Each structure stands twice: as structure tokens, then as C-alpha cells.
Amino acid sequence: MLVARGEYRKALLALRPALESADWPLGLDAKLCQARALFALGRDQEASDVARGAEALIKLRRDRHRLARLLSIERGTVFRLEGDPALAHLTLADRAQRAGDGQDALEHYRAARVLLEAGL
């Protein structure tokens, strides 16, 4: 949320504990937020280094969703799910569930629920 609000320095501080996490997808998502904040602060080389490390983890997991997020960060654009966002999260949740990735599935099911409850 801090990154989305443009509070990049605060975000970098808040991300510190999660950056060392080996838990998927927590550690990787923290790295994506870190890269976005660093790019926004003009620390491009540091951001690129973080992005490259994240890319290797994403490709290892074959996670197309997070790869698309990474590419938007590198381009300096805002990532948006195509089509109905709740349906997109449900699709991602189902895919993660089939892959045996319960944490990622839960994240996407929660996101879909929030969007549906908000009427979006």
C-alpha cells in the first residue's frame, strides 16, 4: 500500500523483514515492491539488480502473473489485470491451487473476494 500511495522511502523500510523471507510468494512480492520503489526514487541500478534476482525466481516458478508485474515495474507502468479483475484473480487462484501452491492460491482467492464484496 505504501508503494501504491507513492510513499517509497517508508515502503522500503516496511519491506525489510519480508525481503529475506524464503516463503513463496511473500519474499518475491516484497522484492517486486522494492524494485518499484527504487525505480521511483531514481535508484535505477539498484532496482535493476533487485528486478533481475526477482526475475530468476519468477522464471523458476513459471509464474506468468508475476512476470507481467515485473515487466510493468521495469517499464514504469502500473500493472493492471485484463478483463474482470475478480475473475482474473479466481483464475490465478485456481491455477495456483492446481500447482499445489496454497499460499498463492489463498492470496488470489482473498483478492477476488474483496473485489466481489466491493462490487468491482
Query: What are the mean pLDDT values of the chain's consecutive 10-residue runs (120 residues total)?
Result: 94 95 89 97 97 94 91 92 88 90 88 89
Verify that 47 and 97 share a domain, yes or no: no
Residue pair 71/87 in contact (Cβ under 8 Å)? The answer is no
Contact partners, residue 28, CB within 8 Å, separation at least 6: 54, 57, 58, 66
In this prediction, residue 42 carries a pLDDT of: 97
* pLDDT tens column, 11-36: 999 999 999 998 888 899 999 999 99
- Please count the structural domains in the chain: 2
pTM for the full predicted model: 0.81
- Angle 73-69-7 from CA coordinates, rounded to 5°: 50
Verify that 99 and 52 share a domain, yes or no: no
In this prediction, residue 25 carries a pLDDT of: 84
Classify residue 3: in a domain, yes or no.
no
